[in-house]
Structure 1
Amino acid sequence: MIKKYKKLVLICCLFSICVVGLGAYTRLSDAGLGCPDWPGCYGFLSVPHHEIHAEVVAENFPGMVIETAKAWKEMIHRYFAGALGLFILCIAVWAAYINKRELTPLRLPIFLVLLVIFQATLGMLTVTMQLQPLIVMGHLLGGFAIFSLTGLLYLRLTAQSIPGGDAGARRFQGLCLISLWVLIIQIALGGWLAANYAAPHCADLPLCGPDSLVRFSFSDVFHLPLEHSNYEYGVLSADSRMSIHLLHRIWAVITSAVLLITLFQLWRNCYSRKIKDCALTVLIALGAQLSLGVLLIIWQFPLSIALAHNIMAAFLLLSVVRLCYYVKSRC
């Protein structure tokens, strides 16, 4: 029974990255308001397509035109997100059933159920509050959290302790956790950038133009627009969006430096092959993410590269979570 449970957790983890990717694709293709209501679409469980549906839409949503392609992107994302919620509920119920006999983690699956409920609430608010940036950023972080925590649950079920521990790596538990939080801040800044449609407002390298440092303002970065009825395509000024993008790049340099210092210290001081493999995985994911970020600017923000940049950020987060787990719990 425990083997089947482990397989279910692994499938759920893989399914969650699909949901993260679909969410990113929906956002990047400007389909976040493809359906103006929630959880259905114009009052239906799928995208309206019959003439009688059009009459109901015209009556209940006057003046709105159904953009079928955008609506289907949004609804497919919702279908997958709903299925993920059922997966996680099954995991929690199964964990409660076998917990006493198999000593499987129980609190983490229960927390995941609560997180899914919160994530669904954010999904509803994303639509009803017309893509309010703070809600959109929170929704993105929630998806990343579900992916990384299902990955952590699978690690807790399958990971084996390092024989004899690794005293060399154990000394850097704090540094690993700092690296994790620095990365989470960077992902949050990326979510804030995407929620405010700030990517095209910094199309140069390495800065956003010759006067970008002069135009940069922290107050513009953290300005929270609340007075608008619709936030699609962004409402902040060009300078504000440029500042958001520039801070994301600056923090990317800081994040890379912190991660590289952490990986160097672990590689130099630890002797466990497992820790070294975890560190190498983080290094590869970091290199891929930085390369995608540069290509995103050089090629002027193609959708495919932007989507890959989002998904790779999730894998980078999971790789750092995995590294922290082995250093803290298995050494």
Structure 2
Amino acid sequence: MQPLYDWTPVFRLMIVGLLVAAGPLVWVWLRSRGASPVQRLRVLAGLTLFLTFDLVLFGAFTRLTDSGLGCPDWPGCYGAASPIGAHADIAAAQAAMPTGPVTFSKAWIEMIHRYLATAVGALILVMAVVSTIERRRNPATPVLWPWLSLVWVCLQGAFGALTVTMKLFPAIVTLHLLGGLALLALLRLQAVRYGQADALTWQAARLSPGLRAALWALFVAVWLQVALGGWVSTNYAVLACRDFPTCQGSWWPPMDFARGFELWRELGAQGSGEALPFAALTAIHYVHRLFAYVVLAALVGVGWALRRAGMAAHGRWLLALAGWQLLTGLSNVVLEWPLVAAVAHTGGAAVLVALLAGWLAATASVPVGGAAAATRSVAAPAWRERRA
């Protein structure tokens, strides 16, 4: 009897993901011998955060090299766990269309992305389970955030599947990008909560209400700009404007906002099925560019305010990232979307999201008990380590 669904590729991908995750787990175990379980969780959260950042960058690389359909099924590659097992199918697809979406290099890029995503999911599962066990001994150990991260990474996996099965549907691909950055923010918050649970190494921080509100406003603005940037990338609208500061030689080029921001449609098409007009791509690009001016001004303003408040390092980070995003964004336009600049632009956005999420979490008034509840002035760093 023919099974309704073949689960073999799923199990094979899970095995590969577990093997990849075993390396970071062993490294954390060896590096943190003698440390408390919460301290080990904090190290593991930091490492998982780093790997998730790599995953976001590799996801951008996968999208920008048109490798998203390198394996046109999910989770395997033509039912196999790797392109090696799908050699015949990939060769046939590449022979039929040598520059098409399926080639050996694109298949490997797509599958490496899936392996890394599965490994990150495995590490998050370990943190959720260990946090639940440790909570019985240390009531300050966070449980909500690890399990929320686990649920979120599962949703990310579902969006990854939809990205393939819906053939790079722009709204799905953009949501997949936003979901990856949201996972970064969750893991950064989780690492902060582990620090708060570790009474020997954590001290809380305070910000003035006005500065904290400014950080929140900047956080929201960054998310909106990331969503607009994702919409530009997934609609391949970067080269709709090839000059700067004007667009197509004009300060207000012909634009079709209604069709450009029609969310539920296929790639390159309107909801009616007709081809998307160039004016729609121009509108997508130019809105992202105009709002970039707002976000850059906000980054500089909040960065300067942090420096004046005694948080010089935090302020320098924002000012440096503002410059980085401006440089990489301009490079995408004037150099006609080079791969390095495009990936670097996504990386800058990811760092911004993670930093702001961490600062907002570190300055929140969360009672965790013991020595970790101590507060200090805003002039001190947001966190520091000290020996017991």
- Scaled to the shorter chain, the TM-score interval is 0.7 to 0.9
What secondary structure does 1:105 align onto? coil
Structure 2 equivalent of residue 252 of structure 1: 292
Query: Are 2:307 and 1:300 aligned?
Result: no
Query: Are 2:193 and 1:153 aligned?
Result: no
Residues 278-289 of structure 1 correspond to what in structure 2 (within 5 A)?
A: 278-289=314-325
CA 1:64–1:48 in 2, change beyond 3 Å: closer, same or farther?
A: farther
What secondary structure does 2:137 align onto? helix
1:233-283: CA deviation from partner (whole Å, max 9, x where unpaired): xx6322111111111111111111223222333333x24xxx332222122
1:30 to 66, 81, 88: 66
Matches of 2:297 and 2:132 in 1, distance apart?
42
2:350 to 314, 317, 320: 314
Structure 2 equivalent of residue 67 of structure 1: 103
- Of 32-41 and 295-304, more deviation after overlay is shown by 295-304
- Of 200-209 and 169-178, more deviation after overlay is shown by 169-178
1:200 to 239, 246, 259: 239
CA 1:55–1:38 in 2, change beyond 3 Å: closer, same or farther?
A: closer
Aligned length: 318
1:182 to 213, 221, 225: 221
What TM-score, normalized to structure 2?
0.75
In structure 2, list runs of 5 or more residues that go unmatched: 1-36, 197-201, 366-374, 379-388
Q: Which has the higher helix share?
A: 1
**Higher RCO (CA < 8 A, seq sep 6+):** 1
- Structure 2: which amino acid aligns with 1:123? G
Matches of 2:246 and 2:189 in 1, distance apart?
36
1:261 to 276, 286, 301: 301
In structure 1, list runs of 5 or more residues that go unmatched: none
Runs of 4+ in 1 over 6 A off after TM superposition: 55-58, 228-231
CA contact (8 A) 1:21 1:310 kept: yes
CA 1:212–1:297 in 2, change beyond 3 Å: closer, same or farther?
A: same
Structure 2 equivalent of residue 276 of structure 1: 312
CA 1:253–1:73 in 2, change beyond 3 Å: closer, same or farther?
A: same
Matches of 1:200 and 1:222 in 2, distance apart?
17
Matches of 1:24 and 1:105 in 2, distance apart?
31
Structure 2 equivalent of residue 113 of structure 1: 150
Residues 43-82 of structure 1 correspond to what in structure 2 (within 5 A)?
A: 43-48=79-84, 54=88, 66-82=102-118
- Of 98-107 and 31-40, more deviation after overlay is shown by 98-107
2:162 to 115, 125, 130: 125
2:77 to 22, 41, 44: 41
Matches of 2:256 and 2:97 in 1, distance apart?
38
- Structure 2: which amino acid aligns with 1:78? R
> Aligned Cα RMSD in Å?
2.7
Structure of larger gyration radius: 2
Structure 1 equivalent of residue 30 of structure 2: none
What secondary structure does 1:321 align onto? helix
Identity of aligned residues (%): 34
What TM-score, normalized to structure 1?
0.87
1:31-71: CA deviation from partner (whole Å, max 9, x where unpaired): 11111100011121111467xx527996x9xx777411111
Structure 1 equivalent of residue 278 of structure 2: 238
Matches of 1:303 and 1:55 in 2, distance apart?
28
Matches of 2:89 and 2:216 in 1, distance apart?
56
- Of 250-259 and 78-87, more deviation after overlay is shown by 250-259
